[in-house]
Amino acid sequence: MKKNKYFRNIAGLIALMAVMLGCSPQMDTKPDIGLAPTEDQLDFSITPGTNDFKFVIKNTSSVVGIPSWDLGNGSKSSDAQAVGTYSLPGEYTVTLTLVTRGGTAVKTKKITQTKTDYSIFTDAKFVFLSGGINAVNGKTWVLDSLAQGHIGVGPAGTAGLEWWSAAPLAKKAVKVLYDDKINFKVNGFVATLTNHGVSYVKDFQKADPAYTNAIINDADYMVNFTPVPGKWFIEDKNGKSYLTMSAAKPLFPIFDTGAKDGAYQILKLEENLLELVATGSDGLAWHYQLIPEGYVKPTVTFELSATLTANVNEYAVKLNNTVIPAGLSVTKVVVDFGDGTIKESTDYHAVFTNTYMRKSPYNMTVTVTTSNETIVKTKLIEIAANHPSYVPFLLDMMVVYNDFSEVALAPVNGQDCGVTIKDNPSKVYPNKSSKVAFYSKENQQWANANMQLKPGYRFDLRLQHIFKIQVYGKAGDKILLKLENTDRGGNAWQTGTADVIYTIRKDNTWEIAEYNFSGVSAGFDWTGDQFTGDIVSSSQFNHDFYNVIRIMCNPGVGTGTHQFYFDDISGPHVEGLKSATL
């Protein structure tokens, strides 16, 4: 009885295995994500809007997907329901692109406009931008390269100047930006970008199929590119005005940041000033300031005076010989003394004083806001000795220098590589930060991300000599961290520490890389100049010496693309230097 039951169980098991084996081809197939949509499954309605020139365009497709629109008038939209403005007679092609799990489909319809909105020809925004109907050749704009903030970037939803505001001629060395221009004609609403065959774009835009031969230049990229004329329009949405542009190839106001839907919010538009902000393809706010080609702005002039008073380490700052052209005014003066002290006044005759406590050189910045521009001047203040009441404060602990989300003791830049702030690719332990840094080099041996302390501040290795960063990348990639002294300018490498390298252990996993500089040598022994076998034990190297951190991926490898994410740059406490909020 038991024997028969045993064989019946075996027979049942064999039958079950046969069924499973018979099903195995189906089990091995890829999951079904659905078929690609077809044009006949797509549809959209076009209905009159609030006036004769606005039309409501709504996705009514029988399949679910993410719509995007080319409204045929120079505007694009990624809203489920778009509103298009058609101010001139003509036939406009509206294109719906629907993306589903299975693929993409496209459907087009025509809008025929028989009426003319004559108000746009007298609307100040249209006239200021294009020159109006009397400007047969339109109006040409260039970046306001002499103005502070002619390009900039900040958090989404801002004016795009909080994180970086380009100083006058900040990008002069790239040689392919300030001679570009963009023209707007009201006749046909034609926009034309002139770039002399080469454009300047953000690193996250360089892979656009319209671009070739991308070469890094001052953290961003030069690309070979032949633009084509496109369409422009100004539309009002939710109480804000937007300049929209579209063409068969990228179309942008001089510098390509991948503006969402080709839309640029108009912050200010006057006869001789165009100020815009756009949401770039990186999700951040990018700022633009342009002026008409050939326009020379009237400007307030002044001399900056900073003199030592009779009090210890006290400086008095004021504007001398101020000349204000007719029609202009000075609205505010702000003095940043470089030690964390900031004072301001609406009176340009005001005298600003500050007492410096710590021995150091300080970069003082004076910002004068006028009715037509912002003028920035700087002056180096050398404080030779600590104030008698100053007490040094050095902690025996590590601090975070930059976490790319909240804290920035000093900025991190790229040399021969791109260093950008991006969303954390894996918000899990040990790194749940929202933002992190992304390093990318192409065909560069010694490309590095670098963080330089403010003038007068140095790393002190006497109490703490370990540095750490979090890294996320490809297993086997080598991440170097070294220290340098910039006092030798272009020969700073001669002061560098010997290589301390961390090798990434796992693919795409946050790891804590530790760099212990105890017993690490620095300098070059064959020169007999500035060499030590141990920077921690050497009084020449362990304090008042190093002021730069350099981070490299696969140093010495000069071919191919090498990338990784990093975060939480940390190390010894820097005496006297306070962290700043990003």
pLDDT at position 11, please? 42
Cβ atoms of 577 and 463 within 8 Å: the answer is no
The contacts found for 231-236 with CB under 8 angstroms, 24 or more apart, are 231/73, 231/74, 231/189, 231/190, 231/191, 232/74, 232/184, 232/189, 232/190, 232/191, 233/73, 233/74, 233/75, 233/85, 233/87, 233/189, 234/123, 234/125, 234/126, 234/129, 234/266, 235/75, 235/85
pLDDT at 77 over 90: no
pLDDT at 515 over 70: yes
pLDDT tens-digit series, residues 211-223: 999 999 988 999 9
Please name the residues in contact with 137: beta carbons below 8 A apart, sequence gap of 6 or more: 183, 185
Confidence of residue 317 (pLDDT cuts 50, 70, 90): very high
pLDDT at 12 over 60: no
Confidence of residue 5 (pLDDT cuts 50, 70, 90): very low
Q: Does domain 301-383 have CATH number 2.115.10.20?
A: no
Q: Where exactly are the structural domains of the chain?
A: 46-116, 122-292, 301-383, 398-581
Mean pLDDT of 295-304: 95
Residue 239 φ/ψ region, left for φ over 0, alpha for ψ in the -120 to 50 degree band, beta for the rest: left
> CA 214, CA 381: separation in Å to the nearest integer?
41
> CA 82, CA 443: separation in Å to the nearest integer?
44
Mean pLDDT of 223-241: 94
Please name the residues in contact with 254: beta carbons below 8 A apart, sequence gap of 6 or more: 142, 143, 177, 180, 181, 182, 193, 200, 288, 290
pLDDT at position 492, please? 86
pLDDT at position 1, please? 39
pLDDT at position 320, please? 98
Low-confidence winner among 28-32, 114-118, 271-275, 456-460 (lowest mean pLDDT): 28-32
Q: Give the pairing type, strands 255-256 and 198-201.
A: parallel
Give whole-number Cα distances, 56 to 46, 69, 240, 379, 380, in Å: 6, 12, 18, 56, 58
* Assessment of whether the complete model's pTM goes beyond 0.75: no
Q: Does domain 398-581 have CATH number 3.90.660.10?
A: no
Please name the residues in contact with 125: beta carbons below 8 A apart, sequence gap of 6 or more: 234, 241, 266, 269
Give CA 171 to chain center in angstroms: 14
Read off the DSSP letter of residue 551.
E
Tokens 């047969």 correspond to 136
Please name the residues in contact with 549: beta carbons below 8 A apart, sequence gap of 6 or more: 401, 450, 451, 467, 481, 482, 483, 569, 571
Cβ atoms of 398 and 570 within 8 Å: the answer is yes
Query: What CATH number does the domain located at 122-292 have?
Result: 2.40.128
Helix H or strand E encompassing 140: strand 139-143
Q: Hey, which residues does 299 pair with through a beta bridge?
A: none
pLDDT at 153 over 70: yes
- Residue 218: CB atoms within 10 A of its CB come to 17
> Is 46-116's fold the same as 301-383's?
yes
pLDDT at position 580, please? 54
In 3D space, the residue among 283, 218, 206 whose CA is nearest the CA of residue 250 turns out to be 206
Torsion sign, CA atoms 502, 505, 506, 510: negative
State the burial class of residue 388 (Cβ atoms within 10 Å of its Cβ: 0-12, 13-18, 19+). exposed
Mean pLDDT of 524-538: 79
Per CATH, which fold does 46-116 belong to? Answer: Immunoglobulin-like (2.60.40)
pLDDT tens-digit series, residues 452-487: 998 888 999 999 999 999 999 999 999 999 999 988
pLDDT at position 10, please? 37
pLDDT tens-digit series, residues 262-274: 999 999 999 999 9
In 3D space, the residue among 456, 402, 412 whose CA is nearest the CA of residue 575 turns out to be 456
